[in-house]
Amino acid sequence: MTGTIVILTGAGISAESGLGTFRDVDGLWTKYDLNDVATPEGFARNPELVMEFYNARRANALAATPNAAHDALAKLEANYSGEVFLVTQNVDGLHEAAGSRNVLHMHGALASALCGACGHRWPANDIMATSDPCPRCKAPATRPDVVWFGEVPYGMHVISEALARAETFVSIGTSGEVYPAANFVAEATQTGAHTVELNLDPSAGASRFAETRFGPATEVVPRWVD
Ligand code: BJW
């Protein structure tokens, strides 16, 4: 095989690295109201709460290590003779830590800060406060560089182009509840790609995949790669 493989990952791939998912039984959205911590309106209402939420998640992500599923995808990219394009909804850096290089963070990254005034981005691995001045425009308008509900995900044009040339589309550890990622399977199907879902349980869109394999990511992903 030499064609393009587009891989979409979600929180489930990092679950066995100890990072919580959003919508599972003990997921983040059972402890926090997403309207408070994952919308621009929530940030405007209570920036301290939102910063606290992301500072804690950044510390957890920095302490986490990649698991066998992240490792298998890095190995696939290193050994495959065609293109492997990894689109992740995850804001942790575990794909890069495992060695994946061709990674697009469509929902942003915990290790990056964004200036709400001028749009400048900069690496930020420490605790962040809204009052931190932007290195470029000096405005005290720092926010996490993540994509909240109502905002446009990063790299949509690049992702659509990749889906259009994909021979294989694989979705891993995502519930299929959040758009536009939930629609990638339809886009890939339309252009003739073979579509595969690897997940613990069937996602909301499981019936739209040509092939499905269910189980923990650390088992099903290495098995699919081999
Ligand atoms: C395991 C496992 C193990 C567990 N092994 N698996 C109708 C149509 C289209 C759009 C909309 C619509 N209605 C509303 C919208 C808009 C909205 C939306 O989708 N709302 C839905 C709730 C309905 N979407 C947006 O606002 C997006 N923007 C947008 O649409 O802009 C318009 C536009 C788009 C394109 C072009 C032009 C304009 C933005 C969405 C932003 C989402 N942001 C978050 C927060 C990011 C920062 C952060 O991390 O805090 O992204 S919310 C959260 O959900 C996070 C995730 O990336 C995202 C997806 O979650 P994920 O990864 O799927 O996790 P879970 O918990 O849901 O699922 C885990 C899965 O893993 C489960 O299936 C488990 O079974 C599995 N699992 N353990 C394998 N060990």
**Gyration radius of the chain over CA positions:** 17
pLDDT one-digit tens code per residue, 132-186: 999 999 999 999 999 999 999 999 999 999 999 999 999 999 999 999 999 999 9
- 26 marked as part of a ligand binding site: yes
Q: In this structure, which residue's CA is closest to atom 57 in ligand 1?
A: 89
Tokens in use for 11?
């929180």
Q: Where do the structural domains in the chain lie, given as residue ranges?
A: 1-17+66-107+153-226, 20-63+109-146
Question: Which class in CATH covers the domain with range 1-17+66-107+153-226?
Answer: alpha beta
ipTM confidence: 0.96
Consecutive H or E run containing 197: strand 194-199
19 is in an annotated binding site: yes
CATH code of the domain occupying 20-63+109-146: 3.30.1600.10
What global pTM score does this model have? 0.97
Summarize pLDDT for 6-28 with one digit per residue, the tens: 999 999 999 999 999 999 999 99
Catalytic sites, residue numbers? 107
Domains 1-17+66-107+153-226 and 20-63+109-146 agree in fold: no
Measured in Å, residue 135 CA sits from the centre of ligand 1 at: 31
Q: Which of 179, 159, 181 is nearest to 104 (CA)?
A: 159
Per DSSP bridges, beta strands 166-172 and 142-146 are unpaired
Residue 214 has which token pair?
């269910």
50: amino acid identity, one letter: V
Assess contact for 214 and 202: CB atoms under 8 A: yes
